[in-house]
Amino acid sequence: MASPKRIKKIKFGLLSPKEIRKMGVTKIITADTYDDDGYPIEMGLMDPRLGVIDPGLRCRTCGGRPGECPGHFCRIELVAPVVHVGFAKLVRKILRSTCRKCGRLLLEEPIKKNYLDQIKLLTKLGQPCDDLVKNVFRDATKVNLCPYCEEAQMDIKFEQPTSYVEGGHKLMPADIRDRFERIPDEDIKIFGMDPKNARPEWMILRVLPVPPVTTRPSITLESGQRSEDDLTHKLVDIIRINQRFQENREAGAPQLIIEDLWELLQYHVTTFLDNEVSGVPPARHRSGRPLKSLSQRLKGKEGRFRGSLSGKRVNFSARTVISPDPNLSISEIGVPLQIATELTIPMNITSRNLEECREYVRRGPNNHPGASYVKRLDGRRVKVIDENREELAELLEPGWKVDRQLQDGDLVLFNRQPSLHRMSIMAHEVKVMPYKTFRINPAVCPPYNADFDGDEMNLHVPQTEEARAEAKILMKVEENILSPRFGGPIIGGIHDHISGMFLLTRGNVTFDKDTALELLKKSEIMDLSEPAGYENGKPYWTGKQIFSQLLPSGLNLTYRSKMCDNCKICKREECEKDAYVVIKDGNLLCGTVDEVAIGAFAGKILDRIIKEYGAVEAGKFLDNATRLAIRMITRIGFSFGIDDEDIPSDAQEQIHDIIMAAEERVKRLIEAYEAGELDSLPGRTIDETVEMKIMQELGKARNQAGDIAGHHLGMDNSAVVMAISGARGSMLNLTQMAACVGQQSVRGERIQRGYADRTLPHFYKGDLGADAHGFVKSSYKKGLSPIEFFFHAMGGREGLVDTAVRTSQSGYLQRRLINALQDLEIKYDGTVRETRGQIVQFVYGDDGVDPSKSDYGKSVNVSRIIQNVTGEEVMGGKSG
């Protein structure tokens, strides 16, 4: 083994022909690879001195076996020089800025010196001098007369990809090379190049380095036939043309043929280096598949850098579509049986689990809780197959290892890309299930930002005890209910959970014993409280009581729910909307449970439970609450259809009148504006003022229409229930569906774009009216007129474009932030330091508080402490 060495520095430059000849172990002269016996031909493309790929052989140059020998370069001596495509643009620039006769840079001595000084300064400071060099080329290209030899310069045309025409005459690579050789070292420095490491003439190839066979291994097909690498094929082409070129030249062939062959050689060398140059037809395999050139191996997403070197691949992982299962616990994950039989966990056999392991092995690899491999004491791995499973099971003894299949209760990591925060990877407990999708509780969708419209997620199986312990302590779903972003719960009830809870706890819904027990059946609740009362001799319970069964005893909490209108004088317990929530000793006394109570991103009850009773208790509460809510909502039956948007005809007339009145007022505003009677608002022009007033007027009209619609759609309407409870949608959505869609906007203004002085040819020029600038009178239910539809599409398009732009921008911003902050660490003394120990912050976040352990960002919640100690409720503001 070679000892590791420290890299001191890396130097970039061009390979000079001298260097290529020195590093090449031989010259390649034949295009053939193997002889009839299958032996590589000397001085052929598979010369044994180039390294070894066949097992059992040794390298003729270094004596290494395959895997040890890195391979050795050789070379092809080109009969005529060709341009290296990678430098074609630079060659053009240099040609244009140097003299065609004396080869000097076309700039006066003092200007040159000035540039050279600046470049030297920048390199000393370790800064790039690209911009400066760009100016050098720009200035030098403009010069038409050489300031040294007074030779008139001709215009040089560049024809993609590698030919240069000077004044109608084609420049051959040999001519270019001659010119470049004349450029003095001093001038090369001004191009930002180091003449010792990169002379411009080296960009014209005379010797082609041939990569070692290890770079282009040939594969032996099943038929025994050898199949060569794309690069080898390309090299064969180059050698063939090279030979033909030489023969023709020696035979004194006409100039036309020579030039043709030269071009062909150029083509082959070009496509060897880069087969995706524009203007060059890609070189193809016999089957019509384009050949993979050197540059294609390196660049792009699947290239050597991004794909092979920075790319990471793992074993013990699985990926499939996700779907919801509300009966699972939030910390569980349903894993398809097929995946569970494929993924394994290594188990060390001890005297205590010997029998268990035997059973796994006995079951074999195809019978679910089985085993796929055993590892013997000597370290040999034996595959468990149906033929040997019985014997193998008997052979097991302590010290062996068994790769056991995944089974219920195993801890696995679950991930959804993009992994933007730490909740994007959480540890779940396996629950093996039939069918082919991963199943998760919908309550864990918010942290993953997942939905079930076809999302796929990844699963990873930790393989060591340490990894599992770490996952269990740090990554379990329960440990991540509180977000470190804002110190509140990020996992919580969503959609139906909230609607269900809302319907259960609002007002005084009562249930008889059977129903109450049925609702609580799926939740782990064993007993019911005293009934709220008796009706016809039968006991009944309220929804609030049933919900209270889930709450831990001793929980005290008072807050205002989402419905709260912030009345001037709060009636507290007597609130007629039931929006004042009081929980005493784990009993919901009044108020309605909604998004603010158990929802993701809000969840006050959840938040309080996790902070006072711990993560595990909170997880249980969430499981129970979501199950209860789902039972409730399925019991009631909750649906929404087109007729839920119906409003009575007199309400429709009212809405119509409101909109007509608003249009009338807009008309009067416009008349006043045109008559010049309108006073402008402070800081605005008259035009802006009239726009603002019109917008205000129409906005008011839409709100009024919405109020009327809302008035007629009561709590028996499921969309209203969802909007008020915070489960989904808003009253605005409902207004748009039932009453009036309202003003469409582009860039925050009414729609102004279109034809000269008007949005569409249907209007008069200069029309400022509501309908001419995108006010949609209709509701979605009624349907939009063609003009309204068009304006609506304009506004809708803007929204789509905005989201597309925003996601890409914020993604890049996030990446930059992560790259800048990833190595910072909070040390035990509370300071934030980077890897060298440099202090970045003296106290983390100035106050040293972990947001996920704080109370919505505040370190102490005083009112909560007082309440817990004195038992008296103290209420801060709505947020308190």
Q: What is the nearest approach in angstroms of another protein to the Cβ of residue 838? A: 5
Q: What is the nearest approach in angstroms of another protein to the Cβ of residue 482? A: 18
Does residue number 879 form part of the binding site for another protein (CB under 8 A)? no
Nearer to another protein, 536 or 838 (CB): 838
Nearer to another protein, 469 or 839 (CB): 839
Q: Which residues pair with 584 in a beta bridge?
A: 587
Q: What is the nearest approach in angstroms of another protein to the Cβ of residue 856? A: 12
DSSP strands (E only) in 724-877: 742-743, 745-746, 749-750, 775-776, 825-826, 832-833, 839-841
Per the structure block, which two tokens stand in for 348? 């060390």
Nearer to another protein, 3 or 838 (CB): 838
Q: Which of 839, 865, 866, 874 binds another protein (CB under 8 A)?
A: 839
For residue 865, what are the CA distances in angstroms to 125, 496, 825, 875? Answer: 59, 33, 32, 12
Segment contacting another protein (CB under 8 A): 451-459, 578-586, 628-636, 836-844? 836-844
Q: What is the nearest approach in angstroms of another protein to the Cβ of residue 858? A: 9
What is the spatial distance between Cα 698 and Cα 705, in angstroms, rounded to a whole number? 10
Q: Are 870 and 862 in contact (CB under 8 A)?
A: no
Nearer to another protein, 418 or 857 (CB): 857
Nearer to another protein, 367 or 841 (CB): 841
Does residue number 838 form part of the binding site for another protein (CB under 8 A)? yes
441: nearest Cα among 491, 502, 482 = 491
Site string for another protein, 219-248 (x = CB under 8 A): ------------------------------
Q: Which residues fall within 8 angstroms of residue 589, CB to CB, at 6 or more apart?
A: 544, 573, 582, 583
Does residue number 842 form part of the binding site for another protein (CB under 8 A)? yes
Gyration radius of the chain over CA positions: 39
Q: What is the nearest approach in angstroms of another protein to the Cβ of residue 489? A: 21
Question: Binding to another protein (CB under 8 A): which residues in 774-833?
Answer: 829, 831, 833
| Angle of the 686-712 helix axis to the 649-674 helix axis, nearest 10 | 170
Q: What is the nearest approach in angstroms of another protein to the Cβ of residue 847? A: 4
Name residue 529's amino acid: S
Segment contacting another protein (CB under 8 A): 152-160, 507-515, 570-578, 840-848? 840-848
Does residue number 840 form part of the binding site for another protein (CB under 8 A)? yes
Q: Which of 168, 846, 872, 879 binds another protein (CB under 8 A)?
A: 846
Q: What is the nearest approach in angstroms of another protein to the Cβ of residue 566? A: 26
Q: What is the nearest approach in angstroms of another protein to the Cβ of residue 865? A: 20
Sign of the CA dihedral 641, 644, 649, 655? negative
Does residue number 126 form part of the binding site for another protein (CB under 8 A)? no
Does residue number 845 form part of the binding site for another protein (CB under 8 A)? yes
Q: What is the nearest approach in angstroms of another protein to the Cβ of residue 849? A: 7
Segment contacting another protein (CB under 8 A): 254-262, 568-576, 680-688, 843-851? 843-851
Q: What is the nearest approach in angstroms of another protein to the Cβ of residue 817? A: 19
Name residue 849's amino acid: V
Segment contacting another protein (CB under 8 A): 372-380, 443-451, 536-544, 841-849? 841-849
Q: Are 335 and 438 in contact (CB under 8 A)?
A: yes
Q: Three-state SS for 759?
A: coil
The string of DSSP letters for 81-125 reads: EEE-GGGHHHHHHHHHHB-TTT--BSS-HHHHHHHHHHHHHHHHT
Nearer to another protein, 769 or 845 (CB): 845
For residue 65, what are the CA distances in angstroms to 38, 51, 57, 74, 212? Answer: 19, 9, 6, 19, 15
Does residue number 862 form part of the binding site for another protein (CB under 8 A)? no
Residue 596 phi/psi, 5-degree rounding, is -65, -25
Nearer to another protein, 801 or 839 (CB): 839
Nearer to another protein, 458 or 841 (CB): 841
Nearer to another protein, 369 or 845 (CB): 845
Residue with tokens 């430059």: 13
* Site size for another protein (CB under 8 A): 16
Does residue number 843 form part of the binding site for another protein (CB under 8 A)? yes
**Dihedral of the CA atoms 233, 234, 235, 237 (nearest 10)?**
90
336: nearest Cα among 353, 346, 322 = 322
Q: Which of 303, 849, 863, 867 binds another protein (CB under 8 A)?
A: 849
Antiparallel, parallel or unpaired: β 745-746 and 749-750: antiparallel
Nearer to another protein, 442 or 851 (CB): 851
Residues making contact with another protein (CB under 8 A): 829, 831, 833, 836-843, 845-847, 849, 857
